[in-house]
Amino acid sequence: MSGFSSEERAAPFTLEYRVFLKNEKGQYISPFHDIPIYAEKDVFHMVVEVPRWSNAKMEIATKDPLNPIKQDVKKGKLRYVANLFPYKGYIWNYGAIPQTWEDPGHSDKHTGCCGDNDPIDVCEIGSKVCTRGEIIRVKVLGILAMIDEGETDWKVIAINVDDPDAANYNDISDVERLKPGYLEATVDWFRRYKVPDGKPENEFAFNAEFKDRYFAIDIIKSTHDYWKALVTKKTDGKGISCMNTTVSESPFKCDPDAAKAIVDAKSSFLLSLSLSLSLSLSLSLSVSLSVCLSVCLDLTHSFNFYGHQKCM
């Protein structure tokens, strides 16, 4: 068990939906800044954003205070990835390594492209279907250099250390050997997944070949250095929220009460929204009730009137 827990606000698949993360004391934290990159030596933390086989594009909200997970929105609409034949939704548990950042102001020496402004992405290939907001410990096996509309977007391949088969996976060659076709499917998926949205196919550096675990760990470490510069204000994050509760060198560090105030403010907004909704609902209900009542009275009146006439 990681000791971290998550708390959902509002209904999933709505614009208001958020997943906030909490530490072992139940205090709110940022999954981007407060969860340590390392769980132990050579084992990384991973924040699960999208459970395997699901389609909603959930992600750490880098610009919102405390960086809760929320569903991505494009042109006012919630984003879902299409089922790309023959796949169903995302084909791995998908998420990010905390305390990493792909710096958009830094051109990568391997790809020649700048970073995508997000924490580094992870595809977890274990057999368990994880849950949204779950924090798992992963062993890094390799990496793919995707180029998305001119931005570097590394995809780390990793396995949950709690997977019953984890001991058999130590490098990218083990994935090729023990899960034949999975890496080819991964490239195919990333190449085509935006095509149903009218976007071009994605491209890859290194002729779409996966690099090994050592290469992957070097890349992750470099993104950890970019994150350090971000959270200590040596790099301007331009809109990224660096609010955190644990990074002592960071000018954005706040106390747990300030973190709680962020979540409470979000909740009271939601509460007032639902209260006003139910108020307007009950108002319209009472209006329709009174309309009903007056129609009934009217009918009774007419009935009586005609009744009287008949008797007369």
Q: Which is closer to Mg ion, CB of 116 or CB of 124? A: 116
Q: Which of 49, 108, 118, 134 is close enough to bind Mg ion by CB under 5 A?
A: 118
Which of positions 153-172 make contact with Mg ion (CB under 5 A)? Answer: 153
**Does the protein bind Mg ion through residue 64 (CB under 5 A)?**
no
d(CA 102, CA 145): 12
Beta strand spans in 79-225 (E) = 93-96, 114-115, 121-124, 135-148, 151-160, 203-204, 211-212
**Residue 310 corresponds to which tokens in the numbers above?**
């008949």
First to last CA, the chain: 86
Stretch that binds Mg ion, among 27-35, 151-159, 213-221, 251-259 (CB under 5 A): 151-159
Assess contact for 65 and 20: CB atoms under 8 A: no
Does the footprint of Mg ion cover residue 103 (CB under 5 A)?
A: no
15: exposed, middle or buried (Cβ count in 10 Å: 0-12, 13-18, 19+):
exposed
For residues 62 and 238, is the Cβ–Cβ distance under 8 A? Answer: no
Q: Is 59 in the site for Mg ion (CB under 5 A)?
A: no
Residue number with CB closer to Mg ion (34 or 116): 116
The identity of residue 280, as a single letter, is S
Judged by beta carbon, residue 108 or residue 153, the one nearer Mg ion is 153
* Binding of Mg ion by 124 (CB under 5 A): no
Q: Does 49 bind Mg ion (CB under 5 A)?
A: no
34 lies in the site for Mg ion, by CB under 5 A:
no
Q: Does 116 bind Mg ion (CB under 5 A)?
A: yes
State in angstroms the smallest separation of the CB of 153 from Mg ion: 4
Residues at the interface with Mg ion (CB under 5 A): 116, 118, 121, 153
